[in-house]
Amino acid sequence: MDILKQPIVDASAWTGSDFQSKEDVTLHFAPEHLEEIDRTLKAALESGLKLDTLERRDFELPLTAPLLQATREELRTGRGIVILRGIDVGRYTVPELEMIYWGIGTHLGIGVSQSVLGDRLGHVKDTTATDPHARAYRNKQELTPHTDTSDLVGLMCVRTARQGGVSIASSVAAVHNALLERFPQYLEPLYVGFPYHRRGENLPGEAPITPHRIPVFSYVEGELSCRYTRSYIETAAREGGTPLSDLQVEALNCLERLTYECAFEFQLDPGEIYLINNYTVLHARTAFENWPEPERARLLLRLWLTAPDWRHLDPRIDATRSGIAAQAGKLPSFERAFGSGRMASHVN
């Protein structure tokens, strides 16, 4: 186990105070880009293509490609966060926006399933009226800092909530630097890692708890990566009969406290696409309240993308980079973790 003992000083080590506004991380689609996207969408629709059949070759964007390549490199080797702005959501139906978003995503990586439903493009909205134990991207609770199971994570805003739903992003490098400087005693337990509960998403024959520990931090071939979902850790400790030690709990508490200290907070607006490197940026969200009219309810479209050239990873993290396998008959929810009926935070 290699623990990084030197501070990171490259572009990935930013804090929220480094940005005056989200404009500092925003790239803009030019009019010619938007015209090209519009033409390409119409051609795809006229060819009878649908979201589940659309591939990169069906959504070539020669004029827009340089902007998307710059986005990809900023995510892969730069700050790890980009907002793309300019798409007018009022011009398109939601299925058309899904096609546009998926088509753009094919220039960044390969889409993977986000839940047992097999949804390669998730709808981030509140579904707790019909699924009380819905995973957090399907409810309106606060999402605490976490990472997902892919190389890139993207959110496209279609409609905002009446109140709340503020996005929170934190640099993994900045959090690690703060731990190294102020709380080095917590690095070892975070590098050692924790068993994870699979929260009902395990395949037939798989144990509900991982037989191995998944590190929060790993340092492989000069690259620091993070994998973190606290509710999975706590559920594994509770159901596996091995309570977390005081040191482990203190390390997790400190990690989350520093994540908020380093955070960049912003409101994503309709038509904006928010993209992050899933190993170098932790993300979270405040709770939100919806509009009473269903047609105005908050809606974001989510992409999980994998990319073979993305990063050197610890094998235990590498195994979690390709999404969640679809399983017929299951919902993306988990009831056993809720004990007496209080909904536990499920941040993935």
At 337 the pLDDT is 39
Q: Domains (ranges, CATH) in the chain?
A: 24-338 (3.60.130.10)
Share of the chain above pLDDT 70, in %: 90
Q: 159 pairs with which residues across the strands?
A: 299
pLDDT in the model for residue 136: 52
Count other C-beta atoms under 10 Å from residue 138's C-beta: 21
Residue 160's nearest CA partner among 30, 266, 80 is 266
Residue 39 pLDDT: 98
pLDDT of residue 180: 98
Q: Kindly report the pTM of this predicted structure.
A: 0.90
Three-class DSSP category at 78: coil
Token pair of 107 as six digits: 């220039």
The reported pLDDT for the residue numbered 342 is 29
The string of pLDDT tens digits covering residues 271-287 is 999 999 999 999 999 98
What is the rounded CA–CA span in Å between residue 254 and residue 12? 20
Q: At what angle do helices 246-261 and 230-240 cross, to 10 degrees?
A: 170
240: left (phi over 0), alpha (psi -120 to 50) or beta: alpha
Distance CA 192, CA 158 (A): 40
CA distances from 15 to 20, 239, 260, 263 (A): 11, 36, 10, 6
Token pair for residue 57? 């070759």
Q: Are 184 and 295 in contact (CB under 8 A)?
A: no
The length of the chain in residues reads 348
Residues in the chain predicted with pLDDT less than 50, given as ranges, are 129-135, 335-348
Closest CA to 322 of 333, 334, 310, 330: 310
Phi-psi region of 114 (alpha: psi -120 to 50; beta: other; left: phi over 0): alpha
Measured distance CA(289)–CA(300) in Å, rounded:
14
Give the model's pLDDT for residue 333.
61
